[in-house]
Each structure stands twice: as structure tokens, then as C-alpha cells.
Structure 1
Amino acid sequence: MPRTIEEFQQGFAWLAERISSEIIGKPVAVRRLLTVLFAGGHMLLEDEPGTGKTRLARTAAQSVGVGFGRIQFTPDLLPSDVVGVTLYDQNTGRFSWRKGPVFASLVLADEINRASPKTQSALLEVMEEEQVTIDGITHGMPQPFMVIATQNPSGHLGTYALPEAQLDRFMMRISIGHPDRESSLAILRNDIRGAALESPDSDVSSVPCDQENTAKSTGRPVPNHAVPDHAVPDHAASGQASAWVLAMRSVAERVHMDDAIGEYIIRLVEATRGDRQVKTGASLRGALALSRCARVAAAADGRDYVLPDDVAELAVPVLAHRLALTAEAICSQVPQSEVMRRILEQVPVPSIGRERSLP
């Protein structure tokens, strides 16, 4: 199990490489998803249909090796379909409780904004408290626990905007975007090669290997899943996936953050509350989320201390979706990310404090 920053960095890089071998050309999205995973938060993927949101979530669960549950949100989905329901058994004369699909370590809430607000609210307690209360009985979630929700941009037919209270519970919101030309070509080659491997009449040796193109499109080498390093064991095969993730979180929690960096985060959050284009700014929950993500980012880079660059890099995906803009900004179609970038440029960047090692 990882215990040091070096082992954390190796484990983070190994897992990122493993996911990137399936999600081609999106290293930033993969890194941010893993940042949220090891920070103990939840992720919101917002983008157009067909950009790989569901595939990214499924690949992450398979790569980590933890339990996976998927909920396809539809307009007729009920809260009991998410968290579970108590049923009466006529044969035994007793009530029995059946768990919903939310009881998994990594839960994919697919197209969450297609469900009614009543069903969306069923996730509120789960995401914040990591527990579900049904008929007065509280049931805890498995650990680690993470919700990866996908949604189509607001305004699409048949969508319901997520309430601000639920948006605030997502640690980060990102957009994947369509792949560039080289990445798209590499994906097509992978698809052709996969079809050839499945065909009984195909000559596998005649299908060109796409590893070189994959490395070129992603800018990173093709991962070697059999990495001979004690920090990244085959935890999935040994049944230690959950313990491995929790150990990685424990290492990240011990990363040092100077008081000057903490004040920088608070100033950023306070600046969102006083901006002319913001009706309601980020809460303290946003500051805590940014602090945790910054510590994970520092550990992923092999440092046991946080730099201002770690905070600046993650400020937009962590804080932008928490801003409720004014009517004038909405009418002018000003995106939340643009407002957050402007605020980020206005807040002075502190000088870093004294470096410290982990105890």
C-alpha cells in the first residue's frame, strides 16, 4: 500500500496511463477525474452527447477495480429506483429492504439532468453524508464512495437543470470535448483492430498495431500494466482495490499547505461573492474542495507541499459551477468559467511558504 509521496506519484501515474490507454487524447480529463477520486469528492461531466462521458466513468471503475453501479436517469425514474425500497413479502409476512444501484464504490449517474428534480434530490444525502436513510434506518455507503454524474448541456430537450444545492456537492465539473483529428484517427484504428480481432476469418497479424499512433495522439507513452513497482500492485486482482484507494487518499491528506496558500483560496472564494456578475458566490464547501484537490495535485507531481499553481490550475473546474450568475450575465450568455477566470486574474498570487516534508 502507498505510504509516501513517491509511491503516491507512481500509483497516480500508473492509473492515469491505464485509463488513458482507453480514453485517447484526454489526459487532462483523466487527471482531473483521478484528482477528485483521491480527494474524496464527486465529479460532474457536462458535455455534448457522444464525447465519451460514460466511457470515461466506466473505464475508471474498471481500471481501479472497485465496485461499479450505473443509474440511467430518465423522466419516469423514482427515488426508490436509486437508493432502494422496502418491500412486503406475503409469503413470510415480513418487510425486506432491497438496495438500489447507488450502493457501489463508484456510481455512474448517467444523464442525471433527464430525471425529475424529486429523483435528483435522492442523491443529496448520499453525496454529502455517504449514507441513505430509508424508513428511519440509516445505511452507509461502501468505502471508497464516488459519484460520477454525466449531463447534457442545459437547454437540451427533456432536461431539468440541477438545483444549486446539488451542484455544490460536486467537487469538480469538467467538459471532455470532442477529440482532435489525430486522436479521432487513433480511436478509429482501435475500433478497426478490435473488429478484426473478433472476426474468426481475420488475420490478426495483418492489422497494424496502433500503439505508436496512440502515444502520438496523447503525447504520452502507451502504459505498461505490469509495472514492476511495489507502489502500484495488482490491487484489483488481489481484492485490495478499496484499501489501495483509501491509502492513496491518506497520503494526499498529509500534504502540507502553507497558510498563505490557504488565505489565497479564501480570497478566491470571497471574490466570487462580491463580483458584479455573480448573484451567489461559492461557499466554504468550495474552498474545502479546492484545498483537497490542490493537495492531490501536488502529490501527483511528487511534492509534499502545495504551490499557488496547484490552486490556480484547479480553481475554474472546482469553483465555476458553484456560481449563480446575475440575470444580466445570463442574458449576455457569459459562461461561469469565464467569470471565474477573470476573478482568478484579479486575486493576487501569494509567495509560497517554507517547504516541509511529510511526517
Structure 2
Amino acid sequence: MAAPDPTASAADQLAYYQDKIKQVFAEVGKVVVGQQYMVNRLLIGLFTGGHILLEGVPGLAKTLTISTLSKVLHLHFQRVQFTPDLLPSDLVGTMIYNQNQSEFQVKKGPIFANLVLADEVNRSPAKVQSALLEAMQEKQVTIGETTYPLDLPFLVLATQNPVEQEGTYPLPEAQVDRFMMKVYVDYLKKADELEVMRRMANLSYVGEVSPVLTKEDVFGVRGLINQVQISETLEKYIVELVFATRKPAEYDLAEFAQYVQFGVSPRASIALHRAAKAVAFFDSRDYVLPEDIKEVATDVLNHRILLNYEAEADGIRTQDLIEAILKKVPIS
């Protein structure tokens, strides 16, 4: 299908990009088996400008999925392996003295890319993790006394092992909040694992993918998602969901009130709004349904709710609170 003219109707542009997105899933599927949910969430982040944090035990193809997706998206990609000895300058860059010219020159780090894979981000101490803050939030990096804007689109896709694994450092609260969604990656189904085993047992197997999207396509999709309509009723519903995490007792959730130390920040409202629009777009609609909000609520809210030690002792999870909120908070 040929690219639509900029003056083409919204329907023609929608049809074109819907076909492109199907091609993206097909291309990624040539290499990665059974991780459509993860790919969906990564694309939502890309098309809404939100960073994504993936958490799962080693071996679930988190890194492979992101690296494969970068090839399909045809965007500048950099991978940073986070280790205990990584320095902030290894990430953002530093000043290097040039003896020939007798002056300091800037050597930019791997953060200067469209897609940055922060692999095993919780393997480095907080000082290195916080080096991502300015880049993620402000889309710029300061080296020495000069601030450099990052090339857009800019997206951080981070992976981490569960914090109870040995040799990991939990991400600071301010850092976690800057991720639009935290996606838990689970084990594959039996049929998918069988296919993975068969592919990888063939030592000559090489999964080749072709570029599908361009940088211009990414901004084209963003423009269409921005045009998706969401009613005032659903906007108020999002706000009610957010407030229910802060004051559960006011929403007939008194049994959870003793466990909540902090509810979600205003970034959660923005993320729910954007993600719900993206879900509607993926479903070929130009309007948001309540189901769109509920579909992304867990991924948007789970890492922003801070429960106390009493909740841990009683076996209460953030997932339990979110499920209860979705059942209790009405749409009015």
C-alpha cells in the first residue's frame, strides 16, 4: 500500500497505518515467538512518547524483542548494558581533551539515539539510573555546561530482572514514575515455547526482518492518535481511578486504605489518557471506550502505587488494589 498523501482523508491515513502496524507485528514474529502483548505495549509507548519498563526473569526475549523491533522501525538504536561499574558519563557522554586542537570536545554517549535499550537497568546503582532522568523527561542532555537536545522520537525501553534477584538495585521512585508503563513479561505458552525450542535448536537459523516504519510514519501515527476523541465522562473516569489509588476509603475500598503509603502521581492520569487513545487507534476506532482505559490501567498504575510493609506482610499486591478499583469506581 502506497503512503497516503498528506492531504488524504483521515480514513485513508488510518487504513494505511493500520496495515503498517500489522506488518510490524508480522516482521517481529519472524524472530520473536509469542510476545505480541509486549510488542503491543512497546508500540503504544513509541506512538505516545512514553517510556516503557519491562520486568521479567532472564530468558524471556525482552532484549531480543526490543532489538528486533528497532530494526523493523528503522530508527537509530543504541543498547546499553547496565552493570555495577557503569558511570553516568558512559551513558550521556563526556568532554574529551583534543591535544591536536588544544581544546575540549564533546563525545556524545549512547543516549543520543531514537530508541535506547537500557538492558538490566537495575544492575547499576541509583547514581547511574538517575542519569536517565533529564533525558527521559526533558528530551535533552547536559554535558559540561552545554545542553544538547535529543533527536525525536526519543524512547527509553528498559528491562529489569525482579528486584529480589541477587545483585540488583531497586529503581528510585522518581525514576520509576517517568516510565509510562511497567509491563510484566511472563513465561510463554507451551505451544510458543515448543516453537522457540525448534527454532533455536537449528544452529543455522537466522531471523531476518525488513524495515516497515520510518521516522515520518511514527509522527504520522502520533498525529492520528492525537485526533482520537475521548469524552468528558471518560476523562473524569480516569481522574476518579487515579484518586481511588490515593484515597481508597472514599471509594468503598476501606480494606485497602491501611496498605497504601502513596497513590499514583498526576503522570498516571496523562499516561492513561494517552494509552487509551492508542488502544482505540489500534482497534481502528477514532473514539475511546471504557474498555480501552481498563485494558491499560494495570500497566500504567502498578509501578506508581507504593504499598507499605504491612501490605507485604499480608500478601497484598498492587494488582489486587487495581482490580478492586476497576470494579468499584463507576463511570458516571
In the superposition, the TM-score normalised over structure 2's length comes to 0.90
Task: Please name the residue that 1:247 is paired with.
Answer: 220
Q: Deviations over 1:84-109 (max 9, x none)?
A: 00111222210000010111100000
Report whether the alignment pairs 1:285 with 2:294. no
Q: Following the alignment from structure 1 to structure 2, what is the Cα–Cα distance between the partners of residues 283 and 311? A: 17
Pair 1:197–1:33, CA change in 2 (3 A)? closer
Question: Contact 1:20–1:30 (CA<8 Å) still a contact in 2?
Answer: no
Question: Contact 2:199–2:205 (CA<8 Å) still a contact in 1?
Answer: no
- 1:188-203 to structure 2, matched below 5 A, reads 188-193=197-202, 195-196=203-204
Q: Following the alignment from structure 1 to structure 2, what is the Cα–Cα distance between the partners of residues 16 and 175? A: 19
SS of match in other structure, 1:185: helix
Q: Following the alignment from structure 2 to structure 1, what is the Cα–Cα distance between the partners of residues 93 and 283? A: 40
Q: Following the alignment from structure 1 to structure 2, what is the Cα–Cα distance between the partners of residues 348 and 244? A: 37
Q: Deviations over 1:135-187 (max 9, x none)?
A: 22111111111110000101211111101111110001112211121101111
Q: Following the alignment from structure 1 to structure 2, what is the Cα–Cα distance between the partners of residues 197 and 19? A: 15
* Structure 2 counterpart of 1:318, one-letter code: V
Q: Deviations over 1:4-35 (max 9, x none)?
A: 33333222222122223322112222111111
* Structure 2 counterpart of 1:267, one-letter code: E
Q: Following the alignment from structure 2 to structure 1, what is the Cα–Cα distance between the partners of residues 18 and 296? A: 18
SS of match in other structure, 1:184: helix
Question: Contact 2:277–2:287 (CA<8 Å) still a contact in 1?
Answer: yes
Task: Please name the residue that 1:117 is paired with.
Answer: 126
Q: Following the alignment from structure 2 to structure 1, what is the Cα–Cα distance between the partners of residues 142 and 247? A: 37
1:333 CA displacement: 3.5
Q: Following the alignment from structure 1 to structure 2, what is the Cα–Cα distance between the partners of residues 185 and 60? A: 22
- 1:80-159 to structure 2, matched below 5 A, reads 80-159=89-168
1:197 CA displacement: 5.6
Unaligned segments of structure 1, at least 5 residues: 199-224, 227-233, 351-359
Question: Contact 2:233–2:331 (CA<8 Å) still a contact in 1?
Answer: no
1:52 CA displacement: 1.1
SS of match in other structure, 2:53: strand
Task: Please name the residue that 1:215 is paired with.
Answer: none
Task: Please name the residue that 1:324 is paired with.
Answer: 306
What is the number of equivalent residue pairs in this alignment? Answer: 312
* Structure 2 counterpart of 1:340, one-letter code: I
Segment drifting more, 170-179 vs 325-334: 325-334
Q: Following the alignment from structure 2 to structure 1, what is the Cα–Cα distance between the partners of residues 93 and 315? A: 40
Q: Following the alignment from structure 1 to structure 2, what is the Cα–Cα distance between the partners of residues 197 and 62? A: 18
Q: Following the alignment from structure 1 to structure 2, what is the Cα–Cα distance between the partners of residues 245 and 113? A: 29
1:235 CA displacement: 5.2
Report whether the alignment pairs 1:53 with 2:62. yes
Unaligned segments of structure 2, at least 5 residues: 5-9, 249-256
- 1:248-327 to structure 2, matched below 5 A, reads 248-275=221-248, 276=257, 277-327=259-309
Q: Deviations over 1:235-280 (max 9, x none)?
A: 56xxxx1111111111111111110110110000010011312211
Q: Following the alignment from structure 2 to structure 1, what is the Cα–Cα distance between the partners of residues 98 and 204? A: 50
Q: Following the alignment from structure 1 to structure 2, what is the Cα–Cα distance between the partners of residues 342 and 8? A: 36
Pair 1:235–1:22, CA change in 2 (3 A)? closer
SS of match in other structure, 1:43: strand
Pair 1:304–1:156, CA change in 2 (3 A)? same
Question: Contact 1:8–1:300 (CA<8 Å) still a contact in 2?
Answer: no
Q: Following the alignment from structure 1 to structure 2, what is the Cα–Cα distance between the partners of residues 130 and 338? A: 34
1:196 CA displacement: 4.3
Question: Contact 1:273–1:281 (CA<8 Å) still a contact in 2?
Answer: yes
Please report the RMSD computed on the Cα atoms of aligned residues, expressed in angstroms.
Answer: 1.7
Q: Following the alignment from structure 1 to structure 2, what is the Cα–Cα distance between the partners of residues 29 and 197? A: 23
* Structure 1 counterpart of 2:43, one-letter code: L
Question: Contact 2:20–2:212 (CA<8 Å) still a contact in 1?
Answer: no
In the superposition, the TM-score normalised over structure 1's length comes to 0.83
